């Protein structure tokens, strides 16, 4: 869209707004009729650690939302000399999971407990055993069950339980709803009916009876909607809450609120079966859209859904590039000591590219990148290690290659459960994050590790605010019976630029040899943790 077309779209309300409340930033993105971002605004915020709980205050939520919207409106006017007074549709997204419990008068009963809290271990284990379905500590149902186990007095007064995205949507529309992807992080979802699993609901209700709790779980959970469903409209009170200036009108339709995992899938066009995306930076996680549910429980794998309800296997590793970054910083100190001027980005690029010239198996070297514990390999703490034998080929190329390999080691163990035990098939992975910043290197290593083509698109960095804007646009503009994956592929990503790299079989064999070494050497990492206790 050119400048004139964009101005007309803004004036006539043919734009769509997406806002996502992330862990450190609230971001608003306005998109045009071609789905490309035309303006943005943001607000930085931080969680607080208060009375043993990681939380954000409700005041911070609304201050941040208003500031990000105000900055967006300012950006629109500065770029296009047109006030933002009409919007076609809006969508809200936020960090998944956590615990927000309200009484019948809409009062928050206890401070918002975010996904970051790890206070629900007992409940997580108990519910996983009860349901025979993996319930991570960060899920809402784990927080609720732990509050019951702790005999917290507020539990009897719960009238409504939701997540941050659901809370914002409720206050702006009056609707107590959630998108199915976000709902699947509250309580297990049955993808056959796109609703909470009825059998597990009844199992939990039996526990409530035993505790003499009067309400039933289905009565306090938000209603589940799927992508494309109408999820209410902006009320007069909601419009003033988001835009205190009074310029934003009521009546704007909203799409179902979603979590950041779902919007990440949308923003990377990874919502169809046999597709997946992998985010690799400080930590690494892969989201694989399944053709059918897994056959049994795996503690290493979280089961969630796409925004349309398709089952998704999520493999999350706590450690990815932090140890690798520390080694690059050591090389930076060396170049500084030599008096050689080189930028950080150029140093990363040079060292990453050097890894491609190493031996396929990284010359017999072994590394563990565990700065923190790693649940996939059952280590409660981390001790970064570099190990070699006298026969190992200790070169700079192999050194860099083994650290790139190590960044994906734990992820590979989780993914192999899907590939080898569940026979999951995927056609390609879409990569995003710092691991892929140096052209082709991260892609080639990931392709070797997963033995599937890996793509990186120019839009991969647009993020979840763009993803929820796309979901709002889908609700507004889809044709009858048009699936989300068709809408994204044909109308959003058809002309997106990107690169795809297929796995080279010599690299695949080399990574497999490294992984055999990696799994055998875990006893060394265990000894390091036991011998060097924090």
Task: Name 301's bridge partners.
Answer: 315
Task: Name 11's bridge partners.
Answer: none
Kindly tell me if the per-residue pLDDT of 292 is higher than 90: no
Q: Which of 227, 248, 223, 219 is nearest to 236 (CA)?
A: 248
Percent of the chain's residues with pLDDT above 70: 99
Q: Tell me what pLDDT residue 227 has.
A: 98
Our measurement of the distance from residue 76's CA atom to the centroid of its chain's CA atoms, rounded to an integer in Å, reads 28
270-468+478-534: what fold? Nucleotidyltransferase; domain 5 (3.30.420)
Q: Tell me what pLDDT residue 462 has.
A: 66
Kindly tell me if the per-residue pLDDT of 42 is higher than 90: yes
Contacts of 307 (CB under 8 A, 6+ apart): 179, 180, 181, 226, 227, 256, 258, 262, 265, 266, 271, 471, 484
- Reported CATH class of domain 97-161+187-220: alpha beta
Q: Tell me what pLDDT residue 24 has.
A: 85
Q: Which of 474, 485, 479, 472 is nearest to 169 (CA)?
A: 472
Instruction: Convert the pLDDT of each residue in 368-397 to its tens digit.
Output: 999 888 989 989 889 999 999 999 999 999
534 versus 513: the higher-pLDDT residue is 513
Q: Tell me what pLDDT residue 170 has.
A: 98
Number of other CB atoms surrounding residue 519 within 10 Å: 14
Q: State the Cα–Cα distance between residues 44 and 380, nearest whole angstrom.
A: 32
Percent of the chain's residues with pLDDT above 90: 84
What residues does CATH 3.30.420.40 cover in the chain?
A: 1-96+163-178+227-256, 97-161+187-220, 270-468+478-534
Q: Tell me what pLDDT residue 409 has.
A: 97
Q: State the Cα–Cα distance between residues 456 and 497, nearest whole angstrom.
A: 9
Instruction: Convert the pLDDT of each residue in 174-232 to its tens digit.
Output: 999 999 999 999 999 999 999 999 999 999 999 999 999 999 999 999 999 999 999 99
Q: Tell me what pLDDT residue 283 has.
A: 84
Q: Which of 285, 374, 299 is nearest to 124 (CA)?
A: 299
Q: State the Cα–Cα distance between residues 165 and 188, nearest whole angstrom.
A: 18
Kindly tell me if the per-residue pLDDT of 534 is higher than 80: no
Q: Tell me what pLDDT residue 14 has.
A: 95
Q: Tell me what pLDDT residue 96 has.
A: 87
The upper half-sphere exposure of residue 531, i.e. CA atoms within 13 Å in the direction of its Cβ, equals 7
Residues making up the chain, counted from first to last = 534
Q: Which architecture characterizes domain 1-96+163-178+227-256 according to CATH?
A: 2-Layer Sandwich (3.30)
Provide the token pair at 24: 């450190």
The pair phi, psi for residue 530, each rounded to 5°, is -70, -35
Q: What is the mean pLDDT of residues 333-349?
A: 95
Torsion sign (Cα): 238, 87, 233, 471? negative
Provide the token pair at 287: 């989201």
């Amino acid at each position: 869209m050119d400048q004139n077309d964009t101005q007309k779209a803004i004036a006539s309300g043919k734009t769509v707004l997406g806002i996502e409340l992330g862990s450190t930033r609230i971001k608003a993105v306005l998109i045009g009729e071609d789905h490309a971002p035309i303006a943005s605004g943001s607000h930085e915020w931080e969680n607080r650690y208060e009375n043993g709980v990681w939380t954000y205050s409700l005041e911070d939520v609304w201050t941040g939302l208003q500031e990000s919207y105000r900055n967006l409106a300012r950006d629109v006017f500065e770029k296009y000399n047109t006030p933002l007074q009409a919007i076609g549709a809006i969508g809200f997204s936020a960090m998944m999971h956590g615990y927000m419990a309200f009484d019948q008068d809409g009062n928050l009963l206890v401070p918002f407990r975010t996904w970051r809290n790890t206070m629900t271990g007992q409940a997580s284990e108990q519910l996983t055993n009860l349901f025979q379905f993996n319930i991570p500590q960060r899920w809402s149902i784990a927080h609720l069950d732990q509050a019951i186990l702790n005999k917290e007095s507020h539990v009897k007064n719960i009238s409504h339980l939701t997540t941050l995205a659901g809370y914002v949507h409720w206050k702006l529309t009056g609707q107590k709803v959630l998108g199915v992807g976000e709902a699947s992080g509250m309580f297990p979802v049955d993808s056959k009916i796109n609703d909470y699993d009825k059998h597990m609901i009844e199992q939990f209700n039996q526990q409530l009876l035993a505790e003499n709790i009067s309400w039933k779980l289905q009565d306090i959970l938000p209603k589940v909607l799927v992508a494309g469903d109408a999820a209410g409209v902006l009320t007069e009170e909601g419009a003033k809450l988001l835009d205190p200036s009074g310029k934003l009108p009521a009546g704007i339709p909203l799409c179902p609120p979603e979590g950041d995992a779902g919007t990440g899938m949308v923003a990377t066009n990874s919502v169809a079966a046999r597709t997946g995306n992998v985010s690799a930076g400080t930590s690494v996680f892969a989201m694989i859209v399944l053709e059918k549910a897994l056959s049994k429980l795996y503690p290493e794998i979280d089961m969630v859904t796409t925004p349309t309800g398709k089952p998704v296997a999520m493999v999350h590793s706590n450690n990815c590039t932090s140890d690798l970054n520390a080694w690059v910083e050591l090389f930076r100190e060396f170049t500084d000591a030599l008096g050689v001027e080189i930028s950080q980005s150029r140093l990363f690029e040079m060292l990453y590219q050097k890894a491609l010239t190493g031996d396929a198996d990284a010359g017999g070297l072994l590394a563990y990148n565990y700065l923190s514990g790693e649940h996939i390999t059952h280590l409660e703490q981390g001790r970064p290690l570099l190990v070699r034998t006298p026969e190992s080929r200790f070169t700079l190329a192999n050194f860099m290659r083994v650290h790139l390999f190590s960044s994906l080691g734990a992820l590979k163990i989780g993914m192999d459960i899907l590939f080898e035990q569940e026979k999951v098939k995927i056609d390609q992975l879409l990569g995003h994050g710092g691991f892929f910043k140096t052209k082709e290197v991260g892609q080639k290593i990931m392709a070797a590790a997963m033995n599937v083509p890996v793509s990186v698109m120019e839009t991969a960095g647009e993020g979840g605010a763009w993803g929820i804007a796309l979901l709002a646009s889908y609700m507004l503009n889809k044709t009858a019976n048009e699936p989300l994956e068709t809408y994204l592929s044909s109308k959003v990503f058809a002309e997106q630029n990107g690169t795809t790299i297929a796995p080279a079989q010599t690299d695949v064999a080399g990574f497999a040899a490294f992984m055999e070494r990696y799994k055998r050497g875990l006893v060394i990492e265990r000894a390091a943790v036991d011998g060097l206790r924090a």
